Chain A
Amino acid sequence: MKRYDLIVVGAGPSGLSAAIEGAKRGLQVVVFDENEKPGGQLFKQIHKFFGSKEHKAKIRGFVIGEQLLKEASELGVKVVLNATVTGLYMDKELVVKIADTIYHYKGDAILIATGAAENMVTFEGWTLPGVIGAGAAQTMMNLHGVKPGNRILMLGSGNVGLVVSFQLLQCGCEVAALVDAAPRVGGYGIHAAKVARCGVPFYLSHTIVKAEGEECVTGVTIAEVDKKFQFIPGTEKHFDVDTICLAVGLSPMSQLLKIAGCEMEDNPKRGGQVPICNEYGETSIKGIFVAGDVSGVEEASSAMIEGRIAGIAAAQYLGYIGIEELEEKFEENKAALEGLRQGMFAPENRGKLIERTEEGIPVSMNLLTKGYIAEDEIERYPGVTHRAGIHPVMECSQNIPCNPCQDACPRHCIQIGSHITSLPVVDESAQCVGCGLCVAACSGQAIFLVQEDYEPGYGTVTIPYEFLPLPQKGEKGYGLDRSGQRVCEAQVMEVKTAKTFDHTNLLTIRVPVDMVGKARFYRKSC
């Protein structure tokens, strides 16, 4: 039987990372993926990643996918697509369906990196056409170039719900509302703020009563829920929508490991049924490794590091490297992983209400319930300053592991320091030149350039803009505040696009001077 040193199942972030580390150390590696395109979820993730350079921060997910794929192929990794692994049998034998044939392969080591599947919730009418998973929406718009619907209601305020809502807006869909039964936004505040400033209303402590329609979705009714998640009568709200998108969490897709006979556990902290594994990702069956969401649902950034660790561990298991190299590399990667697992959204903080930042600043409650920071809250944050001339205003209010803004500024105006989750502060002594690199570099689109003294009575605000059509210089429209409300007339003074901005355009709008602290989005008059 055809045998490989390492067979990887799943060409997503963790699988490709493992394949690369294995191949670097001399292993003969093959990667099977059932999809037509490699990259797993990375190819649907069109936003810029968080973290620091080592986590590929400020690079868009699909670009990371392309980079990983290129690196893997340069190292001689064979990536076989449209290849469905149908079973994992004894003696580390895999059966793979490719076209109209099944193939038998054996691996001396096997890495299962099959990722996660979406969870679902039920409500009246949930089986109607038009009710889809958030992953389905991403797949349709970002892989197939088709809008999943015209007017959409999103259920779920975790990062997936927030990111996909923004992506829906980017491809021209209307998002009627973002709804979550939880009392607080579950994902990053900056993701929520991006969606809110486009005018999407947030309904926390609300959930879907029913999807309406006979043959497909024509509307939806939501209602407020109490602390026990029971509907409060009389709070129903109706929306005319053609699509309802569900983003209510993920579960590891660990079925292959169960078939293989790996010891499993039900671990709610990891998202469900996961294999019991050691720090290198090795399961109860020697030589079968796991990495990424299949071993516990997290982010693509951590999946890549877990993949690297498992790939190196497989190399050691097969005798290509010594235990010293494994241990050394493990420590490095563990540090990177711990870097990502810090801050308010660290795994141990899941579901907890955090009321103050690491700096001791009260967290914006409006951000957690409405999706945007209120007027009377914004001045608390160290990135929000006032001064003469052009300067950055960083509306970054939660401790998340991310620091590209610090590296972006050629004048070193922005400082995060050595602690990656710290809120960015403005160095008053450095002089901002208005280059906008920080605006484009911020993965959360939370940095704005503000000039309060542009001309008498008027100031300018430079905002990140990732929509089409791109406004024209001189065009007149409106400034929208953080909640998406139209607050003033605005004129486009400048539209900057550059390769280094990576599709984040910088739109400079002129607004009345009392609006420079409020206008955070631009819309042409309709």
Chain B
Amino acid sequence: MCNTAEVIIVGSGVIGCAAAYYLAKQGVSVLVLERDQSIGNGGSSRNGGGVRQSGRDPRELPLAMYAVEHMWPKLSEELEIDVEYHKQGNLRLGKTERHMEILQGLTERAAACGLDVHMIDGAEVRKINPYLSDEVIGASWCATDGHANPLLTTLGYYRKARALGVRFCTEEEVVAIQKIRGKARRIITAKAVYEGETIIVAAGYESRAIASTVGIDIPMRKELIEALVTEAEPKMFAQMLGTADADFYGHQTDHGSFVFGGASGMESVNKDNGNMAVSSITAPCICRGIMKYIPKLADAKIVRTWAGYEDLCIDGVPVISSVEEVPGLILACAFTGHGFGISPVVGKLLSQMALGEETFLDIREFRYDRFQAAI
């Protein structure tokens, strides 16, 4: 089997799969290398499925708005799989005056960027979602936000890319990228050597180690966070929920189960057994958080809990960037927990970058060399 391709993508997460799909659609030969045995086994299969614009950093907002306006609504049709996209709004809930201040700030910044998001009071909140408790005194409301199924989106991109001829190789852990005649070209894995004209590294936190083999460092860290899912419940509400306190976020899926993420507060020091182990205290904490907001879910049964790593960038937005000093290398990493909602647009941008085309959105804010010392 031939070990060369025009573009080699390291990482088969939703970003890598989307980029592979948009490239293959243009007739480019693509090879995707995945460390794990399963496709998209990192954050792409572990996130809460939010497709939000509100609450985002203004630098990232144009990407999210583009994705929501132009890509998500047609994605099921494009991928020929129901990605369970619902554009039925996002409520970011507040219970205290301090919460309301946080929400006000976020709302003002997003509105200034042209997003239709506004503050609503407790009564309006319960009109949108009658299951929310009286403790909720207000929320920010963005009617064009929503959620989708990250598992089906990732595998949908994979399936379609594969059908278009993209070659995916699993259990191929990239050890190093090698420059050949001044260009990033060769990829060494534990088992084989691959060559490509362009290399896209979209491997989550592991991108840092891979990029460092050609002398590039991205200032990021990883954090093990957790999520849980309930049994199927009768249909209750369609919005994506979040809170000012970030104690939980989530939604009800088409299946009827609720997927919620949340935090115990110990995330920055969580330890792991190498298996993305959950801790014994996080799920109970998430449940307590949820019950304060949605008391009716107290009887809902939790059937699974899981953990996954976030690749957190030092300044809170991702690196989506060509690396001029290493020609042929493109980085797409450090998504800081907001990658899923913008994955279609990032995939499309990456395909343009790999083809040397001018991107349809300005991505200078995501340059790999933007990081500066404090003083």
Given a CB threshold of 8 Å, the question of whether A touches B is answered with: yes
Chain A positions within 8 Å of B, measured between CB atoms, are: 87, 89-90, 93, 95, 102, 104, 259-261
Of the stretches B6-14, B271-279, B320-328, B350-358, the one at the interface is B271-279
A95–B273 touching, CB < 8 Å: no
Is B273 within 8 A of A87, CB to CB?
no
By beta carbon, the residue of chain B nearest A258 is B275
**How near does chain B come to A21, taking the closest CB pair, in angstroms?**
28
Cα-based distance from A260 to B277 in the complex (angstroms):
8
Is B268's CB within 8 Å of the partner chain A? Answer: no
The A/B interface has a contact count, at CB < 8 Å, of 20
Chain B window 117-148, contacts with chain A (Cβ cutoff 8 Å), 1 for yes, 0 for no:
00000000000000000000000000000000
- 8 pairs of A and B residues whose beta carbons are closest in the complex: A261-B273, A89-B280, A261-B275, A95-B280, A93-B280, A90-B273, A90-B277, A104-B280
Chain A to chain B contacts (Cβ below 8 Å), 20 pairs: A87-B278, A87-B280, A89-B277, A89-B278, A89-B279, A89-B280, A90-B271, A90-B273, A90-B277, A90-B279, A93-B280, A95-B280, A102-B284, A104-B280, A259-B277, A260-B273, A261-B273, A261-B274, A261-B275, A261-B277
State A102–B283 Cα separation when bound (angstroms): 12
A interface secondary structure, majority = strand
Query: Residue on B with the closest CB to A94?
Result: B280
The closest CB in chain A to the CB of B287 belongs to: A102
How does the 8 Å CB contact mask read for B68-90 relative to A, with 1 for contact and 0 for none? 00000000000000000000000
| B 277-292 contacts with A by CB, 8 A | 277-280, 284
Chain A positions within 8 Å of B274 at CB level? 261
CA distance A261 to B284 in the complex (A): 21
Q: How far is the CA of A87 from the CA of B228 in the complex (A)?
A: 14
CB under 8 Å from chain A, chain B span 256-313: 271, 273-275, 277-280, 284
Task: Report Cα–Cα, A102/B271, bound state, in Å.
Answer: 22
In angstroms, Cα B186 to Cα A337, docked, is: 57
Cα A260 to Cα B274 in complex, Å, equals 11
What chain B residues lie within 8 Å of A102 (beta carbons)?
284
CA distance A497 to B253 in the complex (A): 63
> Which bracket fits the contact residues of B?
under 10
Q: Which residue of B has the minimal Cβ distance to A260?
A: B273
Distance to closest chain A CB from B283 (angstroms): 9
- Specify which chain A residues have a CB less than 8 angstroms from the CB of B279 in the assembled complex: 89-90
Give B266 Cβ to nearest chain A Cβ, in Å: 13
B-chain residues with CB within 8 Å of residue A87 when the two chains form the complex: 278, 280
A423 to chain B, nearest CB (A): 51
Contact partners of A93 in chain B: CB under 8 A: 280
User: Roughly how many angstroms separate A104 CA and B271 CA in the complex, as a whole number?
Assistant: 18
Not counting A89-B277, A90-B277, A93-B280, a sample of 6 additional A-B residue pairs whose C-beta atoms are within 8 angstroms of each other reads A90-B273, A90-B279, A95-B280, A259-B277, A261-B274, A261-B275
In the assembly, what is the distance between CA of A28 and CA of B216, in Å?
Answer: 55
Query: Which chain B residues lie closer than 8 Å to A104 at the CB level?
Result: 280
With a cutoff of 8 Å between Cβ atoms, the chain B residues found around residue A260 in the complex are 273
**Nearest B residue to A93, CB-CB:** B280
Determine the distance from Cα of A476 to Cα of B72 in the docked complex, in whole angstroms.
Answer: 82
A2 to chain B, nearest CB (A): 13
Closest A residue to B274 by beta carbon equals A261
Minimum C-beta distance from B331 to chain A (A): 32
B277: chain A residues at CB < 8 Å are 89-90, 259, 261
B271 CB, min distance to chain A CBs, angstroms: 7
Q: Bound state CA distance, A87 and B273, in angstroms?
A: 14
Closest Cβ of chain B to A86, distance in Å, is 9
CB within 8 Å of A: which B228-278 residues: 271, 273-275, 277-278
Q: Please, which residues of chain A bring their CB within 8 A of the CB of B275?
A: 261
Closest chain A residue to B271, Cβ basis? A90
A259 to B280, CA, bound (A): 12
Q: Closest chain A residue to B279 by CB distance?
A: A89
Min CB–CB distance B27 → chain A (angstroms) = 42
Q: How far is the CB of B77 from chain A (nearest CB, A)?
A: 34
Alpha-carbon separation in the docked complex, A158 to B340 (Å): 51
Contact residues in B for A95 (Cβ distance below 8 Å) = 280
Q: What chain B residues lie within 8 Å of A259 (beta carbons)?
A: 277
Q: How far is the CA of A501 from the CA of B227 in the complex (A)?
A: 58
Q: Taking each of B273, B275, B280, which has the highest tally of chain A beta carbons within 10 Å of its own beta carbon? A: B280
A261 and B271 alpha carbons, distance in the complex (Å): 13
List of A residues within 8 angstroms of B273 by Cβ: 90, 260-261
Q: Which residue of B lies closest to A89 (CB)?
A: B280
Residue of B nearest to A104 (CB): B280
**Bound: A21/B275 CA distance, A:** 33
Compute how far the CA of A87 lies from the CA of B279 in the bound complex, rounded to whole angstroms.
10
- Nearest CB of chain B from residue A70's CB, rounded to whole Å: 33
Separation of A326 and B71 alpha carbons in the complex (Å): 66
Q: How far is B277's CA from A95's CA once the two chains are assembled, in angstroms?
A: 14
Q: Which residues of B contact A90 (CB under 8 A)?
A: 271, 273, 277, 279
Query: B288 to nearest A CB, angstroms?
Result: 12
Q: Which residue in chain B gives the minimum CB-CB distance to A88?
A: B280
Alpha-carbon gap, A259 to B284, bound state (A) = 17
Minimum CB–CB distance from B224 to chain A (whole Å) comes to 12
Q: How far is the CA of A104 from the CA of B275 in the complex (A)?
A: 21
- CB A224 to nearest CB in B, in angstroms, measures 41
The smallest beta-carbon distance between A196 and chain B, in angstroms, is 44
Closest chain B CB from A102 CB (angstroms)? 7
When C-beta atoms are compared, the residue in chain B nearest to A102 turns out to be B284
For the complex, what is the distance from the CA of A31 to the CA of B271, rounded to whole Å? 28
A-contacting residues, B75-118, CB 8 Å: none
Residue in A closest to B272 when the chains form the complex, CB atoms: A90
Q: How far is the CA of A259 from the CA of B277 in the complex (A)?
A: 8
CA–CA, A259 and B275, complex, Å: 9
B301 to chain A, nearest CB (A): 11
Q: Which residue of A lies closest to B305 (CB)?
A: A87
Complex Cα spacing A224 to B279, Å: 52
Closest Cβ–Cβ distance, residue A469 to chain B (whole Å) = 46
Q: Select the residue from A87, A90, A104, A259 with max chain B CB neighbours within 10 A.
A: A90
**Cα of A90 to Cα of B224 in the assembled complex, Å:** 14
B269 to chain A, nearest CB (A): 13
Q: In the complex, which residues of chain A have a beta carbon less than 8 angstroms from the beta carbon of B271?
A: 90
Residue of A nearest to B275 (CB): A261
Q: Cα distance A104–B277 when bound, in Å?
A: 17
For the complex, what is the distance from the CA of A95 to the CA of B284, rounded to whole Å?
11
Give Cα distance in the complex from A87 to B277, angstroms.
11
How far is B274's CA from A93's CA once the two chains are assembled, in angstroms? 17
Q: Measured between alpha carbons, how far is A153 from B347 in the docked complex, in Å?
A: 57
Q: Within the complex, what minimum Cβ distance (angstroms) separates A357 from chain B?
A: 48
Residue of B nearest to A259 (CB): B277
B277: nearest residue on chain A (CB-CB)? A90
CB closest chain-A residue, reference B302? A86
CA distance A90 to B277 in the complex (A): 8
Whole-angstrom CA separation of A102 from B274 in the bound complex: 26
What B residues does A261 contact at CB under 8 A?
A: 273-275, 277
Bound: A89/B278 CA distance, A:
7
Nearest CB of A to B304, in Å: 11
Complex CA–CA separation, A138 to B274 (angstroms): 41
- Quote the shortest CB–CB distance from B60 to chain A (angstroms): 35
B residues 180-230 with Cβ under 8 Å of A? none
Task: Report the minimum CB–CB distance from A3 to chain B (whole Å).
Answer: 14
Q: CA–CA, A65 to B274, complex, Å?
A: 39
Residues on A with C-beta less than 8 A from B284 are 102
The CA-CA distance from A89 to B284 in the complex, in Å, is 14
Q: How far is the CA of A259 from the CA of B274 in the complex (A)?
A: 11
Q: Closest approach, in angstroms, between the C-beta of A93 and any C-beta of chain B? A: 5
- Measured in the bound complex, the distance between the Cα atoms of B275 and A89 in whole Å is 11
Per-position 1/0 for B48-84, Cβ under 8 A of A: 0000000000000000000000000000000000000
A106 to chain B, nearest CB (A): 10
Measured between C-beta atoms, what is the minimum distance from B298 to chain A in Å? 11
Chain A residues positioned under 8 Å from B280 (CB to CB): 87, 89, 93, 95, 104
* Nearest CB of B to A130, in Å: 25
Minimum C-beta distance from A373 to chain B (A): 50
Residues of chain B with a CB closer than 8 A to A89's CB: 277-280
Complex CA distance for A102 and B282, rounded to whole angstroms: 13
Closest-CB distance, B227 to chain A (whole angstroms): 15
